[in-house]
Amino acid sequence: MYNLKESAKTLLFLKERGLDNYDLLVEKTAAAQNAFGKDGNRRTKISDRLKEITELQKHISVYIRTKDVYARYRDSKFNKDFYEAHRADLTLRKAAKNHFDSLGLQKLPTIEMLKKEYVMLSAEQKKINSGHKENREEMLALLMAKQNVDRILFGTPTQIKNLERGAR
């Protein structure tokens, strides 16, 4: 009885979406999975870039804040006593410089430029996140419908695997 009800729900689902062809169902399911995967990849890339921007902003602000101390240290001809007195600031500046070098930056971006990029990426991330739940639900519904159609047409998952093995 349960299988009969699920079959009826699946047929209604397919009819509502105009999926009257098995190949079209397979195509739509694959497209939904592909779109969902691309959204996930883009979300990850945006999240990683937002972290990079935050880290870069932190290092740039330290670099700017310690500019005067470093200039005085350089003017003192790299005096060891001056270095010991200002070790914390000079160490932070060196860490920031190493971070820039590891990124291969020749010229530092401005904080304002980074803020604009951050805002733009945050807006894109919100847009992707807003459609993420709906895309996921649609993908899962299509996968479930395809699984049910496969069961109706070809039998149990074990029988389907046996058919696939025989086709090879």
Give the integer Cα–Cα distance in Å for 160 and 145.
Answer: 16
Residue 9 has what pLDDT? 83
Q: Which two tokens stand for residue 44?
A: 């990850």
Higher pLDDT, 150 or 158: 150
DSSP H or E stretch at residue 148? helix 111-154
For range 130-159, the mean pLDDT: 82
Residue 92 has pLDDT above 80, yes or no: yes
Residue 98 has what pLDDT? 93
Residue 163 has pLDDT above 80, yes or no: no
Residue 168 has pLDDT above 60, yes or no: no
For range 54-75, the mean pLDDT: 94
Write out the DSSP string of 12-44.
HHHHHTT--SHHHHHHHHHHHHHHHHHHHHHHH
Give the integer Cα–Cα distance in Å for 93 and 43.
Answer: 32
| pLDDT-based confidence at residue 166 (cuts at 50, 70, 90) | low
Residue 156 has pLDDT above 80, yes or no: no
Angle at 126 between CA 125 and CA 129, to 5 degrees: 85
Distances (CA, A) of 145 to 6, 13, 17: 9, 8, 11
Taking the mean position of all CA atoms in its chain, how far away is CA 59? 24
Radius of gyration of the chain (CA): 29
Contact 87, 42 (CB under 8 A): no
Residue 73 has pLDDT above 90, yes or no: yes
State pLDDT tens for residues 12-62. Answer: 888 888 888 888 888 999 999 998 888 889 999 999 999 999 999 999 999
Question: Contacts from 108-112 at CB under 8 Å and sequence distance 24+?
Answer: 108/60, 108/63, 109/56, 109/60, 111/57, 111/60, 111/61
State pLDDT tens for residues 95-138. Answer: 999 999 998 988 899 999 999 999 999 999 998 888 888 888 88
Contact 93, 61 (CB under 8 A): no
| pLDDT-based confidence at residue 152 (cuts at 50, 70, 90) | confident
Residue 151 has pLDDT above 60, yes or no: yes
